[in-house]
A and B are shown apart, each in its own frame.
Chain A
Amino acid sequence: MRRFSLALTFCIFLVIAGVLVGLVLYPPLPALAASLASPEIRFAIGLSLLTSTISTAICVALAIPAAYALARYEFPGKKVVSLVLTIPLALPPLVAGIALLLFFGTTTWGRLLESMGFEVIFTPLGIIVAEVFVNLPYMIRILKSSFTAVNPRYENVAKTLGCTETGAFLQVTLPLARPGLVAGTTITWAKSMGEFGAVLMLAGATMMRTETLPMALYLNISAGDLDMAVAASVILILISLFALFVVEHFSDEAHVF
């Protein structure tokens, strides 16, 4: 059993590593470098970084209070609220994307927002909206479990020592939930960098306008430009490795408290 399971593990390792390394090594190095330096890929990197960073910041800002409320307070309909907040997790991003498209494109609310200058359909703004919609539930879930793990008695003590409720949260609970916050932020950011389905539906895949890294990959593979597609992939692989490293590092630290 030992020998078999070890051999199988090693085989799986070889397949995964082989496939990824094969992708990275497919174009000759100078060609890869040239693709990476091309205006299209540089635009895609810039747009992806910008939209992911903004959407992650929005997710963090919304998820901290929402996750805290779900972790600490009892309120009527809490179960339903929890469930609805979780739905986008299980939904294929394409479905989330088409739902967003219909909401902004066909409803009165959507038109009202558009007339006020909040144009999301086939615009870079749409990328951010789609990423927030898809990733916010992850952020809330991760933070909720981090806040739940912090004993509320820490806050009680802080309050008797002169803190307001907000003060106790900021000085005690939030620092104690830091590993979850860092891991959640990193996962959200990495998922935003790679988000395809929801972004494709709402923001479209317009070259040099809504062309994030996954869109660059999609457009170039459609057009048969393999080198450009690989260049986009290489960056996405690097981002995944970085996210994995941060999460592994902080999930160890999460046990300290």
Chain B
Amino acid sequence: MALHVESVSKTLGAFSLHDISFDVKEGEYFVILGPTGAGKTIVLETIAGIHTPDMGTICWDGEDITHAEPRERNIGVVYQDYMLFPHLTVEENIGFGLRQKKMARERIREAVEKTAGLLGIPHLLSRYPVTLSGGEQQRVALARALILEPRVLLLDEPMNALDSAMRERMRKELARIHRLTGTTVIQITHHFEDVFALADRVAIMNNGTIVQVGEPAEVFWHPKDTFVAEFLGIGNLIKGVARRAGSLIEIGAEGGVSIVAASGDEGDVVATLHAEDVIVSKAPFASSARNCLPGTVTELVPSGSTIKIVIDVGFPLVALLTRESCRELEIAPDSRVYATFKASAVHVIPVNGK
């Protein structure tokens, strides 16, 4: 167990953390997922030593670091708005930590060049942060933290300020850096895509507490309470291997079933599909929709005016019907039905280099 956080509580103005406990293993990519205002940033800042917990302990490899100064912890932080020092050049920003160690100029320069090379930013060294794009600033902020070879790298919503194309590239970049450096990473986010693309394990946070910790699949398929289920409320998650099929892709999922999705990604993927987008019928449904899977109803879960139906199509697929449609279609456990959905309703998340 590398990082051990036990029963940490902290009140800071209007925000507070209650009884936060979790462990992060050495080399692990740990994601904390939760809505805005859940207290995620305070958790990171407390681990970094910016705040001292009111109660509880933080240990690293069995050593109590609860009251250690931030500079004694060797924990790197990258904020979502990067916080590059505007009065210093990129080179001075990256070398900032080594300069505190009173390292010789030439050795700092060598280390900066090496780290900048790792992140693909050697051409930016003489520039000032104001002149950089968001993605470039983020790489500089990562380099500034990584140059000290931190035992943990804390990332505060690193993808938040980027557009979706840049986000995807940055995810790949983070996965690559994690693989290359082997650093333990704790990232906070409110995008569940990040979890599938990057996380070894995930903690779900709400209202200043951690609701559930586990491997992504475990948390998504077995949400502990209604908050987790609703926060992750996407209905269906389908794991599989994607390969190109014309302008679309075909995902080989569990149970030998393959589904068609409108995407260009190949390799390991997780696909999401909203329960509302699944049409249920007794006979094959003639439409332009590319997916029509036969299956057996295994479960009916009433919720308000709708009923959640679980259909075994080779893997459990969730559909949502009104009570009226359910009655008209005479759906009961063990009914044979067809589940139909469009290729464009399937959202594909590539899983990077795990």
Contact = CB atoms under 8 A, between A and B. Distances in A.
Contacts of B81: 153
Contacts of A160: 48-50, 70-71, 73, 75-77, 145
A161 B148 CA distance: 8
Contacts of A164: 69, 71
Interface in A205-254: none
Interface in A147-192: 151, 153-154, 156-164, 167, 172, 175-176, 178
Interface residues of A, number: 19
Interface string B47-74: 0111000000000000000000111010
Contacts of A151: 83
Interface stretch (B96-104, B192-200, B239-247): B96-104
Nearest to B70: A159
Contacts of A163: 71, 100
A256 interface: yes
Given A161-B148, A162-B97, A162-B100, A176 B86 contact: yes
B77 A156 contact: yes
A154 B83 CA distance: 6
B100 A161 contact: yes
Residue among A163, A176, A256 with the highest chain B CB neighbour number at 10 A: A163
Contacts of A13: none
A167 B96 CA distance: 12
B169 to A, nearest CB: 24
A173 to B, nearest CB: 10
A5 to B, nearest CB: 37
Interface in B91-146: 96-97, 100-101, 130, 144-145
B79 A256 contact: no
Contact of A161 (B69, B87, B144): B144
A257 B77 contact: no
Nearest to B79: A153
B215 interface: no
Q: How large is the interface on B (under 10, 10 to 19, 20 to 34, 35 or more residues)?
A: 20 to 34
Contacts of A167: 100
A171 to B, nearest CB: 8
Contacts of A153: 79, 81, 83
B299 interface: no
B50 A156 contact: yes
Contacts of A176: 85-87
Contacts of B96: 158, 161
Nearest to B13: A74
Residue among B76, B79, B85 with the highest chain A CB neighbour number at 10 A: B85
Contacts of B73: 160
Contacts of B83: 151, 153-154, 156-157
B45 interface: yes
Contacts, number: 62
Contacts of A159: 49-50, 69-71
A157 B50 CA distance: 9
Nearest to A155: B50
Interface in A115-162: 151, 153-154, 156-162
Nearest to A164: B71
Nearest to A165: B69
Given A157-B79, A162-B97, A162-B101, A256 B70 contact: no
A167 B75 CA distance: 18
A175 B87 contact: yes
Residue among B73, B75, B81, B87 with the highest chain A CB neighbour number at 10 A: B87
A137 B259 CA distance: 72
Contacts of B79: 153, 156-157
B79 to A, nearest CB: 6
Contacts of A161: 71, 96-97, 100, 144-145, 148
A256 B145 CA distance: 25
A161 B154 CA distance: 13
Contacts of A158: 85, 96
A162 B86 contact: no
A162 B45 contact: no
A153 B71 CA distance: 15
A159 B69 CA distance: 8
A160 B75 CA distance: 6
B145 to A, nearest CB: 8
B69 A256 contact: no
A160 B151 CA distance: 12
B65 to A, nearest CB: 13
Contacts of B97: 161-162
B329 to A, nearest CB: 56
Residue among A154, A159, A256, A257 with the highest chain B CB neighbour number at 10 A: A159
B126 to A, nearest CB: 18
A164 B49 CA distance: 12
Nearest to B78: A157
A156 B78 CA distance: 10
Contact of A162 (B50, B130, B148): B148
Closest 8 pairs (CB-CB, A-B): A162-B100, A161-B97, A159-B70, A162-B71, A175-B87, A156-B50, A160-B77, A160-B70
Given A159-B69, A164-B71, 8 more contacts: A153-B81, A156-B45, A157-B77, A157-B79, A158-B85, A160-B76, A161-B148, A176-B85
19 contacts: A151-B83, A153-B79, A156-B70, A156-B77, A156-B83, A157-B77, A157-B83, A158-B85, A160-B49, A160-B50, A160-B70, A160-B73, A161-B144, A161-B145, A162-B101, A162-B148, A163-B71, A167-B100, A256-B130
